[in-house]
Structure 1
Amino acid sequence: MRRTRCRAGRTVVRVTGQARISRVAGPLVEVRTSLPVAMNDLVTLGPHALPGEIVAIRDDLLSVQAYEYTGGLAPGDVAVPRGHPLSAELGPWLLGGVFDGLLRPLSTAATWLAPGAYGRLGGRTWPFRPAMSAGQQVSAGSVVGVVTGTGPVEFRVLVPPGVAGTVETVAPEGRYGADTAVATVSGVPVTVAARWPVRRPRPSAGRRTDATALHTGQRVLDLLFPVALGGTAAVPGGFGTGKTVLLQQLAKWCDADVIVYVGCGERGNEMAEIVGDLLELNDPRTGGRLADRTVIIANTSNMPMMAREASIYTGVTVAEFFRDMGYHAVVIADSTSRWAEALREFSSRTGVLPAEEGYPAELPSALAAFYERAGAVRTLGGQDASVTVLGAVSPPGGDLTEPVTAHTERFVRCRWTLDRDLAYSRHYPAVSWSASFSRDAGAVGATHARTGDPGWAGRRGRAVGLLAESDRLTALTELMGVGALPGHARMAVLGGRLLREAVLQQSALSTNDGFCGEPKTAALLDAVLTVVDRCQEVVASGTPATVVEELDFGPLIRAREESGPQDTTAAARRRDAMLARLAELETV
């Protein structure tokens, strides 16, 4: 055996023997080869050229994880190393499309993908308009031209990473195939489509340190647990807690330019319903279809498990591709638990010693490698852009101490924990204010202060404090009864209820309340806090707490439903009406 180092720095192993399959054990295929190979290289297996990836090299024996069903493969079949890692084919067809975990289109498949259908560009052409001319000096990330007619998100053809110099040729405006060179830079052809290894992060000029909030339109997130553009968030929750609806709300309303929705290992009927819903949703930003700026990667539980394992890397590679064009992209992975289960199943087949609950010991490293690809960056082309990663976690039985949830918490900036008791009491979104956190809140508050809203951090702090005090006192009332509490404590309990019902609750099915702008969120919170403060003053002046509790606070609570997404006047009017009612109590 002889080892050499290739130009990209990967160790290449040259062994003797034939490129033949020697054993098949489900998705694990063992191959003996005489060709140059490297870890993570793509290998095609058998007469149908099923794609697989090299995961181990031992002397002349390769362990290959297959990305398709291996039924029919037999010892002695030919295996062909392709000499490059598993790569995603990236082009203008992505937006609005539905793909599997290897980014193969599913929307054009009659019933199922044909075996070995990998890396086929097809004969479609695309309208191209150049944005530079021959003789210009360019660098990596410069815009060569744009592909028109791709919907609300302009598709920009870029100079590839690692390429710079003089533009030698540029194709005139016209229609070109995805693999046709539309420009030549220092002898390197630039095509409409690009390939990129899914496990390798795309380069950028550097990371940005400022924190601008990703506005989700969901009050409980934007107010209490904000995530910054380029940040990471986990959404753990058991069955029936509303994960899917919340993720759809984030896809529909967050202020990102491109949405990459990865259905990783979900049941086929659930995934079909999600895809159908996403394809029918209207885009509130453009008035068209939300799907026109969405990439859907559907890898269901009945698909090969290793394609599920690759799907989240494929999704984040797509997001980085659009990030490099200067866009803000959001990856929604539903769910990373199914992805971790694929790792566990494959590690057991390869004989890896199991760690906690049978997961491989490398699970934390794999989670870290995924989430660290998020970030707000300055692109190679000099633009500010970001990739934000939101990963759903489906802990068995709602056990938040299981390994995937526990390790994920180490690597994310936010955790939006969905609470079963809240969901069962019809409080949606069922985000627990006591079990969630945001490490971006301080930086986001500083950004709000710099951009004209210095009171944001103070409002958030008051809301968090009121909720915590209300929870503490509510636990006491379950033991002693509310009548045992002093007046000011009873007003704190009342304030917590008003805050939950008038601000934190939000109906995904409401035209007015499905999305909430930041001004309306601030107005609703200000109205509740002002009314609670006045209640405390009224009780302190001698009015019995029971009298205040018997007031009808319904108009204030209904302000969120009966006012538009950006309306701030309704909350102010109802606040003033409640203050007038409280003033009447003091005169009695």
Structure 2
Amino acid sequence: MNSTGVIHGINGPVIYLKGKTSFKMSEMVHVGDEHLVGEVISLDKNTTTIQVYEETSGLRPGEHVESTGSAVSVTLAPGILNNIFDGIERPLENIAEEGGAFITRGVSVDSLDKQKKWQTHITVNEGDVLSGGTIIAEVPETQAIVHKCMVPPNISGTVIKVVPDGEYTIDEVLVTLKQNNGETVDLTMTQQWPIRVPRPVHHRYPASIPLVTGQRILDTMFPIAKGGTAAIPGGFGTGKTMTQHQIAKWSDADIIVYIGCGERGNEMTQVLEEFGELIDPKSGNPLMDRTVLIANTSNMPVAAREASIYTGLTLAEYYRDMGYDVAIMADSTSRWAEALRELSGRLEEMPAEEGFPAYLASRLSAFYERAGMMQTLNGSTGSVSIIGAVSPQGGDFSEPVTQNTKRFVRCFWGLDKSLAYARHFPAIHWLTSYSEYLNDLSGWYTDNVSPKFIDYRNRLMTLLNQESSLMEIVKLIGGDVLPDDQKLTLEIARVIRLGFLQQNAFHKDDTSVTLEKQFKMMDVILYLYKVSRKLIAMGMPMSVLKSEGIFEKVIAIKYDVPNDNLQLLDMYKRDIDTFYNNVISKNA
């Protein structure tokens, strides 16, 4: 049994070793003369199968594979935020300095800067009894986030030595513990954690607090909870990435983990440049101060694309354990599933629907299952929310990745290309989307916004559904034959669509809207509907109501009322009362 092996066969990113080896399942290995990074994915009596995270061109049978003795892991320590990594946590800026614009094979760089000294405040004393998850030191990682260094989950003991506050590197010993078995262990700022193993927690909380995004169609119509899961499926150009950008910038998550998984290189470059320029509206500091980017473009090896999702998840769980609310933007899980399909084909596994492996559903469920609001091992509360973009070919939502994703997420924001082509953004269609968190969050909305919030939301949805039914008739015989009460339904639904659901990401007041303003906008729209219905019941024709211009005025609320002057919204009800009196007096 050897800790090395000899390459016998190569099939793209998959290599085979013959004979017995001492490799373990999911162990990280170095492949060939260039020490390419790989992972053991299959073992039997005479064959070891390894997937390689780098380009295997030029690799040949007879080269050696060396064991590292540990699973594929990420380094967890200060320096993660405001950084850009590839799929296996190698910092791209450092790689560019060392090898140029293109990643060279076998490049070996530290995941985090081991020379930088961090200002450290020690939070424990000699004699303290510590267990897994206990915070031992605090480090200001960026202007926005304090990094809390913790005892690794599997270690406990009594503090026998601590260093004073000061500046330390991530590898310098801060605390020495004496474990129950009598052995001592030195604790630094650094932890290693296998990417495929979820980090342990104390227990999971039910969904009860929304992730407020500032986007009306999300917060009001289809909310997601903190610790929740959502999918954004849509064809090319429908706005998946832009929607995720808006959530990243405006949501009330503490930390953003953006995973660019298999996206086009030029699009990924644009994402990286834009994130670097964005200003955090909460603090005025750069948004990157609370963001980590994982870039894995479509021309990078497929095995690294498959791993990038788990790398991002593990980083998110680490910050969750500190007590932060983390939001993961995975763009896109379809490219990840395609990487699974390619690897499965190389391994000659039996394909399922559309060539995807039979275990596609279980891999998706395991990914989304790692979301949640948790009580951490140190007693704090943190959450990981996962928002995964899905790119179905041709915008076909019946394909396997979209259908299997729907089974495991509780929030589905279906993008519609007809809305996108009509310049209606966000292009989330209200008839194909849903949120199962609505009932879970109703108590929070009642306590923190208004007891009427959910009722108003349901009334808007009812009007939009009625519009959909009426449009079937309009397409057949035209709108002129409809009675005035149905014409009013169509007009109010238009106000809802253009004045409430449509949102301009480039307008200073409309790009993000508070829940209070969202509620007051619904209140005005429903009051207009109530007054207009009263006029229709009195025999006033719809043409007279439209001639007053009140519907267009209500649509323009989103631009005309600044977010810091919501009192102006109260004036709109007076305008609607004036509209009512004018119609009565003119037609008396």
- Please tell me the TM-score bracket, short chain as reference: over 0.9
* Secondary structure of the corresponding residue to residue 323 of structure 2: coil
Q: 2:116 aligns with which of 119, 124, 128?
A: 124
Report what 1:25 is aligned to. Answer: 11
Q: 1:199 to 1:439 in 2, by over 3 A?
A: same
Structure 1: tracts of 5 or more residues without a match? 1-14
TM superposition shift of 1:74:
1.4
Aligned to 1:216: 213
Aligned partner of 1:173 in structure 2 is 165
Q: Secondary structure at the match of 2:282?
A: coil
Residue 482 of structure 1 aligns to a residue whose secondary structure is coil
Work out the CA distance in 2 between the residues paired with 1:564 and 1:191. 49
User: 1:90: how far off?
Assistant: 1.6
Q: Is the 8 A contact 1:51 1:118 kept in 2?
A: no
Q: How far apart in 2 are the matches of 1:285 and 1:252?
A: 9
The letter for the 2-side match of 1:381 is: N
Q: CA deviation at 1:18?
A: 5.8
The 1:482/1:550 distance shift into structure 2, 3 A limit, reads farther
For residue 570 of structure 1, what is the aligned residue in structure 2? 568
Amino acid at match of 2:132: A
What is the SS of the residue equivalent to 1:448? helix
Q: 1:124 to 1:452 in 2, by over 3 A?
A: closer
Task: Report the CA distance shift for 1:105/1:138 in structure 2 as closer, same or farther (over 3 A).
Answer: same
Instruction: Kindly state the Cα deviation for residue 33 of structure 1 after the two structures are TM-superposed.
Output: 6.1
Partner residue, 1:5:
none
Distance 1:140 1:297 in 2: 28
1:510 to 473, 486, 507: 507
Work out which of the residue numbers 321, 345, 354 in structure 2 matches 1:324. 321
Write out per-residue CA displacement over residues 369-410 of structure 1, whole angstroms, 9 at most, x where no aligned residue: 100000000011111110000000000100000000000000
| Paired residues of 2:142 and 2:290 also in contact (CA < 8 A) | no
1:135-174 correspondence runs (5 A):
135-174=127-166
Return the letter of the residue paired with 1:48: E
Tell me the distance in 2 between the aligned counterparts of 1:568 and 1:249: 22
Unaligned runs of 5+ in 2: 179-183
Tell me how far 1:148 sits from its aligned partner.
2.6
**Equivalence map 1:77-476=2 (5 Å):** 77-110=63-96, 111-118=101-108, 120=110, 121=112, 122-186=114-178, 187-451=184-448, 453-476=450-473
Q: Residue in 2 aligned with 1:9?
A: none
The whole-number CA distance in structure 1 between the counterparts of 2:59 and 2:120 is 43
Question: Which is further off, 107-116 or 427-436?
Answer: 107-116
Q: Work out the percentage of aligned pairs sharing the same amino acid.
A: 40
> Aligned in 2, Cα 1:280/1:17: closer, same or farther, shift over 3 Å?
closer
Q: Distance in 1 between matches of 2:4 and 2:117?
A: 40
**Secondary structure of 1:547 counterpart:** helix
2:542 maps to 1:545: yes
In the alignment, is the contact (CA less than 8 A) between 1:256 and 1:329 conserved in 2? yes
Query: TM-score under structure 1 normalisation?
Result: 0.95
Name 1:554's counterpart in structure 2: 552
Where do 1:483-498 residues align within 5 Å? 483-498=480-495
Q: How many residues align?
A: 574
Separation in structure 2 between the aligned mates of residue 118 and residue 31 of structure 1, nearest angstrom: 24
Q: Describe the SS at the equivalent of 1:377.
A: strand
The question of whether the paired residues in 1 share the 8 Å contact of 2:255 and 2:326 is answered with yes
Any conservation in 2 of the 1:323–1:329 contact (CA below 8 Å)?
A: yes
Q: Partner letter of residue 131 of structure 2?
A: S
Distance 1:562 1:185, change over 3 A: farther
2:294 and 2:120 map into 1 onto residues whose CA distance is 26
Q: CA deviation at 1:172?
A: 1.8
Mean Cα deviation higher: 496-505 or 119-128: 119-128
2:37 counterpart of 1:51: yes
Report the AA paired with residue 237 of structure 1. G
- Counterparts in 2 of 1:18 and 1:440: CA distance versus 1, 3 Å: closer
2:181 corresponds to which residue?
Answer: none
State the 1:35 CA deviation: 4.3
Q: CA deviation at 1:83?
A: 2.1
Instruction: Report the AA paired with residue 177 of structure 1.
Output: T
Distance in 1, matches of 2:19 and 2:274, equals 47
In the alignment, the residues of structure 1 paired with residue 30 and residue 564 of structure 2 have an alpha-carbon distance, to the nearest angstrom, of 54
Following TM superposition, by how much is the alpha carbon of 1:575 offset from its aligned partner in structure 2, in angstroms? 3.4
User: Which of 59-68 and 327-336 deviates more?
Assistant: 59-68
The Cα shift of 1:451 comes to 4.0
- Structure 1 stretch displaced more, 83-92 or 429-438: 83-92
Letter in 2 for 1:281: L
Q: 1:18 to 1:266 in 2, by over 3 A?
A: closer
TM-score normalised by length of structure 2: 0.95
What is the Cα-based RMSD across aligned positions, in Å?
Answer: 1.5
**Is the Cα–Cα contact under 8 Å of residues 14 and 346 in structure 2 kept in the other structure?**
yes
Q: Deviations over 1:412-447 (max 9, x none)?
A: 010000011111111111110000000001111122
Matched residue type, 2:409 = V
C-alpha contact (below 8 Å) 1:528/1:575 kept by paired residues: no
Residues 156 and 174 (structure 1), Cα distance of their counterparts in 2 relative to 1, 3 Å cut: same
Structure 2 residue 64 is matched with structure 1 residue 74: no
* 1:478 corresponds to which of 467, 475, 480: 475
Amino acid at match of 2:567: T
| Amino acid paired to 1:70 | T
**What do the CA deviations read for 1:113-141 (whole angstroms, capped 9, x no partner)?**
34334572543332222111111122221
CA distance in 1 between counterparts of 2:31 and 2:325 reads: 38
CA distance in structure 2 between the partners assigned to 1:330 and 1:323 by the alignment: 10
